[in-house]
Structure 1
């Protein structure tokens, strides 16, 4: 159940990101990550959103989470 809820927040975050509502998308990525701290896609896309806001250090922290969770993943 919790995984489905995290996925729901993630999908809403992506929708906001696509609409250019970057701050709102980050709120929803955070909600997804509160439920599932190992949600790789949420970490990655939150990093993308933060880059759009020019918050490069915060984005880097997100991408580092991706690398730690999935060392062989090429997303980050």
Structure 2
């Protein structure tokens, strides 16, 4: 696995376990490495939504759609 995959995997694990702040941190690190990846924006948006930070999460989902308008997984 490459660094981004490791960060996403760890972030998803934290998200599933309810550690939303930690998950957000890992997704943000992954985005620093690849800000053009719509999936990473979706993960960050999911973490923010779980934290109740809805306006910020919508920005992330919108970024994902800007990168890939056909993204059916963008929440």
CA distance in 1, matches of 2:5, 2:22: 16
Deviation sequence 1:10-58 (CA, Å, 0-9, x none) = 1110011011100000000000000011122221011111111110110
TM-score, normalised via structure 2 length: 0.91
CA distance in 2, matches of 1:37, 1:75: 17
TM-score, normalised via structure 1 length: 0.90
Aligned to 2:69: 71
The CA RMSD over aligned residues, in Å, is 1.3
User: Where in structure 1 do 4 or more consecutive aligned residues deviate above 4 Å?
Assistant: none
1:34 and 2:45 matched? no
What stretches of structure 2 of length at least 5 have no aligned partner? none
How many matched pairs?
74
What stretches of structure 1 of length at least 5 have no aligned partner? none
Aligned to 1:53: 51
CA distance in 1, matches of 2:26, 2:49: 16
